Structure 1
């Protein structure tokens, strides 16, 4: 523990990002012990560079103190990100220990829906009233830049803080010192409401390549701004969470999450997966007499299931990506499903043909090749259909389309693949029985 504290202390001033990475590499228990060994100011500065999920895992072990002190020292946006990742009981304990002002800030940020502009935005934007003088604006901007990161844009608001325009740095430098900013501001500024979701925000950001987009409330008052870098980070984080949820893991789970937390998050979906596995086994059991007569059928079952599963995952990944980035809308369901079924048909004919020839060559019976070839076509069509319908259907009924879609997809391809293969084998069993 002393060694970990020494590493963090060594880099905290010279390379704070390296210090944050060193802290994240520790277990939450060890990281919390390191944080306790630092001054509150240093610890708050260090935690601001740690991933919110890892930061929350550390805070869980520091509730209510010194977690309340550290949250009070943190930037409001960083504090909100970490606070959002805490358990409900930890949130309640912390809220009671925070100052009224910080409590109000956090409650306001938590009121926004997940992945909305209001949740992603930063509130530390720089704005000036329309009657501000250029000299005063330049002076303040210099002081802000000296103390924190430079701002991408400077906004102009009226007396009610309604967004009016944006200031260009070049225009500021060329303007007269006594000029009012309303005379040099650009009014063709794009803004978005706080409730807009991330997919719409991404589409809006593609209109013009801005470094940040201002966020306003229903009355047009400036609330903050969404930085393009934060939008990209949010999208990437959602993609990794979707990857975990796709196969039944929790989006909140991290590499060094506590053992019991990992088990609690994974076990429910493993239980569901067990049930679906029994369903696929039940299909095979329906044909156990046939398999007893033609034992070679059991050899080809993994091939049918494996190829169907692979084709389904291909379709599923494309559809999920389209839903995440806003490329696919629910109104596109019929067109997209038809397209994926078409892909499954063509790939099924090609792969089915190759598999049929391989089975014929290996088994010496052309009818075995025909059976597995037909089953492959049916299963790959079903895989394309399921890969599109499952995420679109979950989206339609209000569930996260990535939530364990892989488990349901595997069930569909296994059940249909086994049923098709053994069903065709039943039809042609007279030609498959050993001579």
Structure 2
């Protein structure tokens, strides 16, 4: 479509917006449908498009880039930070991904492809590749001159010192650099550095973020070559995202789902687990059906049935949340499983005795029947102990079987608490029915 004077003026305004406040420009762009955003960006210089998409969410940027394949998509991504370009390309469908990688310069294509091989949440996926690094034999005055020549708005507190083959040797504190003699080499003023392999997983990164006070941690490959650096802020954000995903999968929602995800995605991700939940609900209903004649004779049992099941569910969720956190933070190892399950059952037993006694007292005072109180109390203890066992054993078992411990553990836990609580309460009531009339 030919560029009219009106369109040219509009493009100039958009470009100016990006130049003045790229963050707000990116947010405004994300408020548009992907097709309109792509159409708008097509009229801008490639550099402006790259800057804007570099500040956009990877999923949105990928949706826009997909409409620009093969060009100017490859040219845009070639001007972006390699780590962000890798996030965007990874989110593209396979055909578009191959086209874009083929359109990148060979060296950059290999670099981006390497970044894309790192697992989700690993140091290689979270690292920033644009870090300051200087050769060990450079003198202080040379480094100072290079820093002055760099036109960057970002302040650097540290730089890294590398040797042959870009192998990481140490870290350079900017204060040390300023205080050093101008003819000293970096090797003489650098400090020892703690680094992490690119394949360090999210759990280990989280532990390092808690145990070590750092802003950045350098990331190296298997040969000790500097690849980039990961920020503590990014680790914490990634851990928070992981926690929210586990919360969703715990109750059967897809980890990919977001608050404003399309309706189709919401339905597709939730419906399978709702079917599983429905099947388990029928299982619990089947237990109730076994005792329907008893309930028709003693309607008071229906009053206490949800109390017994509900308290068991609460006890199970408490155990489940503690165990999931322990597994996620590596506080719990496979050999600790028996001790962990025993501790959770002991806690559930004590809590069950207390809650069961209170519930039994209320039932006795309300109906004036000590047998009813005893049955309610004993059923409460049994269900809470079973729930504590299930809350600890289900995630441990899923971990040992190689599954995600958070994957819908809540649904299976609910099944246990409903079935055991219902069967225990109504079973005891059936045994001692003569004392309840």
Q: TM-score, normalised by structure 1?
A: 0.88
Q: Deviations over 1:179-221 (max 9, x none)?
A: 110011112x111122221222233344431211112222222
Counterpart position of 2:344 = 340
1:111 to 111, 117, 121: 117
Counterpart position of 1:174 = 179
- How many Å apart are 1:88 and its aligned residue? 4.6
- How many Å apart are 1:428 and its aligned residue? 1.5
Counterpart position of 1:138 = 144
Q: Does 1:34 align with 2:37?
A: yes
Contact persistence 2:38–2:68 (CA under 8 A): no
User: In 1, Cα distance between the equivalents of 2:426 and 2:67?
Assistant: 55
Counterpart position of 2:154 = 149
User: In 2, Cα distance between the equivalents of 1:333 and 1:112?
Assistant: 30
Q: Deviations over 1:270-323 (max 9, x none)?
A: 111111112222222222232232222222222122221122222222222232
Counterpart position of 1:127 = 133
1:71-220 to 2 correspondences below 5 Å: 71-88=77-94, 91-92=97-98, 94-144=100-150, 146-187=151-192, 189-220=193-224
SS of residue paired to 2:227: strand
Counterpart position of 2:8 = none
Q: Does 1:380 align with 2:380?
A: no
Contact persistence 1:7–1:22 (CA under 8 A): no
Change in 2 beyond 3 A, CA 1:86/1:186: same
Contact persistence 2:313–2:413 (CA under 8 A): yes
- Please list every run of 5 or more consecutive structure 2 residues that lacks an aligned counterpart in the other structure: 1-10
User: In 2, Cα distance between the equivalents of 1:58 and 1:257?
Assistant: 17
Change in 2 beyond 3 A, CA 1:7/1:224: same
1:235-274 to 2 correspondences below 5 Å: 235-274=239-278
User: In 2, Cα distance between the equivalents of 1:338 and 1:112?
Assistant: 38
- Please list every run of 5 or more consecutive structure 1 residues that lacks an aligned counterpart in the other structure: none
Q: Deviations over 1:102-157 (max 9, x none)?
A: 4323321121122222222221121111111111212223344x325233421111
Q: Deviations over 1:3-50 (max 9, x none)?
A: xx99988964554434444444x4xx7244234313244443333333
Give the RMSD, CA atoms, in angstroms.
Answer: 2.8
Q: Using the TM superposition, name which of 156-165 and 314-323 deviates more.
A: 314-323
Counterpart position of 2:3 = none
- How many Å apart are 1:163 and its aligned residue? 1.4
Q: Using the TM superposition, name which of 78-87 and 217-226 deviates more.
A: 78-87
Contact persistence 2:206–2:239 (CA under 8 A): no
User: In 1, Cα distance between the equivalents of 2:16 and 2:247?
Assistant: 36
Larger Rg: 2
Change in 2 beyond 3 A, CA 1:22/1:301: farther
User: In 2, Cα distance between the equivalents of 1:162 and 1:324?
Assistant: 32
Counterpart position of 2:435 = 431
User: In 1, Cα distance between the equivalents of 2:209 and 2:426?
Assistant: 52
- How many Å apart are 1:336 and its aligned residue? 2.2
User: In 1, Cα distance between the equivalents of 2:247 and 2:370?
Assistant: 41
SS of residue paired to 2:165: coil
Contact persistence 1:117–1:193 (CA under 8 A): yes
SS of residue paired to 1:164: strand
Q: TM-score, normalised by structure 2?
A: 0.88
Contact persistence 2:38–2:67 (CA under 8 A): no
Contact persistence 2:18–2:52 (CA under 8 A): yes
Change in 2 beyond 3 A, CA 1:143/1:370: farther
User: In 2, Cα distance between the equivalents of 1:89 and 1:351?
Assistant: 60
